[in-house]
Amino acid sequence: MGTRSRNHVTVSGRAGGPVVMLAHGFGCDQHLWRLVVPLLERDFTVVVFDHVGAGQSDLSAWSPERYATLDGYTDDVLAICREPALGPVTFVGHSVSAMMGVLAAAREPDAFAGLVLLAPSPCFIDDPATGYRGGFSAEDVDELLESLDANYLGWSGAMAPVIMGNPERPELGEELTNSFCRTDPDIARVFARVTFLSDNREDLAKVTVPTLVAQCSVDAIAPPEVGAFVQSRIPGSRLGTLDGTGHCPQLAAPEETAAAITDFVRAVH
């Protein structure tokens, strides 16, 4: 099976322009980039895709063995980057996809012009021994995963608004809830463990390409300390704080998100 059909890869925008690849997070698909894509298409070639198990990807390509760690997803990202005529891409990874970008760029830096890590977290679990604050205790994460296992649809309805933030705009939380609920529960359970139990703190120092860490001013899932930690561990990276709040600025603040991406891509090109 070809990479494009497996991951439902879509290419649009300015032919011959710098290539921007947008990668979605847990429980989402490429549709959540829909407000950002038109703002980028004027200047760049824009690549969006669905992780296997999400959206319109080929569900038959998913297996709990291949996707039990971020490595399977990283392999897919690199396969898309190797598509003919793409050339070095600026990879924009949202949430858990930010760490896929970190792993991919560490393995094949020549495939990347740069990384934009949007609301990243290398480890969601606090580590009192080192003073690292990821935002969740180990007990918090255990409870979260147990709740997801017991009642995925109920968990989605409760957690999506918390992840989205922006309670004054309930339609955003509803959209994320609906996105979660479209995901196969068995796939979601595996991906949730990958998302919330991975620890990629040691991988950050392996990144050698230009990197922007873009965090929101308020984010219940990846608090500001996490963004500062990521920036401090990636050599030469810079930190940008968006005025937008919540964990999904591509929905809550698409113009600001697109502007941050645009400024970075122009700088690296």
Q: Phi first, then psi: what are they for 125, rounded to 5°? A: -100, 130
Other beta carbons within 10 angstroms of residue 90's beta carbon come to 25
Annotated catalytic residue 95 = yes
- For residues 64 and 125, give the distance between their C-alpha atoms in angstroms, rounded to a whole number: 23
Annotated catalytic residue 184 = no
The tokens of 25 are what? 């997070």
Burial of 44 (0-12, 13-18, 19+ CB in 10 A): buried
Burial of 115 (0-12, 13-18, 19+ CB in 10 A): buried
Q: What is the DSSP string of 88-118?
A: SEEEEEETHHHHHHHHHHHH-GGGEEEEEEE
Annotated catalytic residue 94 = no
3-class SS at 195? helix
Candidate list 95, 97, 121, 179, residue with the active-site label: 95
**Pairing assessment for the beta strands 238-245 and 45-48 based on DSSP bridges:** unpaired
Q: Is the dihedral of CA 47, 53, 59, 65 positive or negative?
A: positive
Other beta carbons within 10 angstroms of residue 210's beta carbon come to 20
Angle at 38 between CA 106 and CA 182, to 5 degrees: 75
Candidate list 8, 24, 51, 247, residue with the active-site label: 247
List active site positions: 95, 219, 247
